[in-house]
Amino acid sequence: MFFSEEEAVQCSVFESGLTVEELLSLLEPGNSNNSQNSGSDGSSRAVYSVVERKHRRMISNRESARRSRWRKKRHLEDLTDQLNRLKQENRELKNRLGLLTHRCHVACRENDLLSAEFLALSSRLSDLCRILVAMQSQQ
């Protein structure tokens, strides 16, 4: 479908979010885009360009806000993933610590038993040395 230049201007005007008054001022015969000798034509273009700039700025701001929300959401997801990884690592480290603590207690008990056995064997060896010395002195 083809539009005349005036219809195309009107379509773009509706998309730009102009008020009814601004639309009517654009449609007045003295404010036509084809008329270049009219002094009010420049003001219509100025109004149109200001409104168009505002509309573009609004769209740009919305897009920027959308990107910002997306970045914030992505950052939150990344932090959540990191939190879950760190919680898992923390559980694994606690399990390792518990296992090592248990092994340490077992080793300490074993060390205590070996120390007691060492003392008993040392005492027995000392007794055997005295018996041996006594037997040698009798001969």
Q: Locate the domains of the chain by residue range.
A: 5-138
Determine what percent of the chain is predicted with pLDDT higher than 70.
65
Q: Is the pLDDT of residue 138 over 80?
A: yes
Higher per-residue pLDDT: 2 or 117: 117
> Has residue 30 got a pLDDT over 90?
no
pLDDT band at 37 (very low <50, low <70, confident <90, very high): very low
Name the residue with higher pLDDT: 54 or 35: 54
Q: What confidence tier does 46 reach under pLDDT thresholds 50, 70, 90?
A: low
User: Could you tell me if 33 and 61 are in contact, meaning their C-beta atoms sit under 8 angstroms apart?
Assistant: no
Predicted pLDDT of residue 49? 84
